[in-house]
Amino acid sequence: MFKGFRLEYVDLGEVTLRVRHGGTGSPVVLLHGHPRTHTTWHQVALRLAEHHTTVMPDLRGYGRSSLPPDEPGHRQSSKRAMAHDVVRLMAHLGHERFAVVGHDRGSLVAFRTAMDHSERVSHLVVMDGLPVIEHLERTDAGFAQAWWHWWFMGQTDKPAERVICADPEAWYRTPAPQIMGEGNHADLWAALRDPDVVHGMCEDYRAGLRADRDDDAADRVAGRQVQCPALLLESAHDDLDIHGDPAAIWQPWLARPLQHRVIDSGHHQAEEAPDAVADALLEFVRETG
């Protein structure tokens, strides 16, 4: 699945990240979303590695990466903490400046990395994601109905972990192995059946409703913006436009004009349209490098 790539477990002190990396050229880090692991990128990575050093970690709390003990406000699972992981990981691998690509929850980490570490990030790509605060401030009945898992996984009085772990196969529905790729499917399901991973994913959503929202709000008050070139990849058959034009929502957060491309796929772009995603990434980094 990852011919020519190296698999490592990198101890960053607070967490240990499982990471796969390979290729040569300017570095690009790929950040998966919920509930995937880094193996979701397996087809995209082979294309990117022909031109770029390609790095794919499991986010803290996901896959086979660890998660620190819970903190007040769920700060241990904040996107700020995950962004710090990305910067330390890339430094460990010898990369001081890099492009960052994130899908779904990973797009929030990519955004936070570009905001908090502008000197380290050369390009930002967000796939099917918006700043958390933009979702929360636009919440209405339609959003609550369509994205109800945010509130289910984000509450703490009746923890979602007990429900999910009681029957993971009923909770998570995935494509068949021949569609996802045998290795990717197996890796994902090993994670979904792990109670520690389920807890880590719930903590991600809890941080989103609290710490991440607070961080976005503070940035907006301070007038902070992403300084590097940015690209939005939007799935044609998903609902990122539930609040209206996602490109228009993104633009105030960016110091430069946003590039925007629609990918003919459902939500999991890297699995459903890997060539289109790879082409978009290669073109964006080349033209804005």
Q: Structural domain tally of the chain? A: 1
- Starting at the edge strand found earlier in the chain, the sheet holding 259-263 runs 6-11, 16-22, 54-57, 28-31, 98-103, 121-127, 230-235, 259-263
| Residues 41/104, Cβ–Cβ less than 8 Å | no
Query: Is residue 103 included in any domain, yes or no?
Result: yes
**What average pLDDT does this structure show over 134-163?**
94
Residue 181 CB: number of other CB atoms within 10 A? Answer: 19
Query: Is residue 283 included in any domain, yes or no?
Result: yes
| Residues 188/174, Cβ–Cβ less than 8 Å | yes
CA 90 to chain centre: 16
Beta-carbon contacts of 237 under 8 Å, excluding residues fewer than 6 positions away, are 264, 265, 266, 267
Query: Is residue 76 included in any domain, yes or no?
Result: yes
Query: Is residue 87 included in any domain, yes or no?
Result: yes
pLDDT single digits (tens) 7-36:
999 999 999 999 999 999 999 999 999 999
Query: Is residue 275 included in any domain, yes or no?
Result: yes
Task: Report the CATH number that the domain containing residue 59 is assigned in CATH.
Answer: 3.40.50.1820
Residue 262 CB: number of other CB atoms within 10 A? Answer: 14
| Residues 218/78, Cβ–Cβ less than 8 Å | no
pLDDT category at 209 given cuts 50, 70, 90 is very high
Which range of residues forms the domain containing residue 21? 6-288
| Percentage with pLDDT > 70 across the chain | 100
Query: Is residue 1 included in any domain, yes or no?
Result: no
Distance between CA atoms of 239 and 128, rounded to whole angstroms?
Answer: 9
Catalytic center residues: 104, 267
Residue 26, SS3 per DSSP: coil
pLDDT category at 289 given cuts 50, 70, 90 is confident
Alpha-carbon distances, residue 203 vs 51, 110, 236, 287 (angstroms): 35, 18, 29, 37
Does residue 48 or residue 289 have the better pLDDT? 48
| Residues 110/124, Cβ–Cβ less than 8 Å | yes
What's the whole-model pTM score?
0.98
Contacts for 193-197: CB closer than 8 Å, 24+ residues apart = 193/168, 195/161, 195/165, 196/67, 197/61, 197/62, 197/63
Query: Is residue 122 included in any domain, yes or no?
Result: yes
pLDDT single digits (tens) 266-282:
999 999 999 999 999 99
Q: Which two tokens stand for residue 67?
A: 């998660």
| Percentage with pLDDT > 90 across the chain | 97
Query: Is residue 16 included in any domain, yes or no?
Result: yes
Q: Which helix (H) or strand (E) holds 206?
A: helix 195-209
Distance between CA atoms of 16 and 115, rounded to whole angstroms?
Answer: 23
Give the model's pLDDT for residue 287: 86
- Could you tell me which of 92, 93, 126 has the C-alpha nearest to residue 112? 126
Residue 104, SS3 per DSSP: coil
**What average pLDDT does this structure show over 125-132?**
98
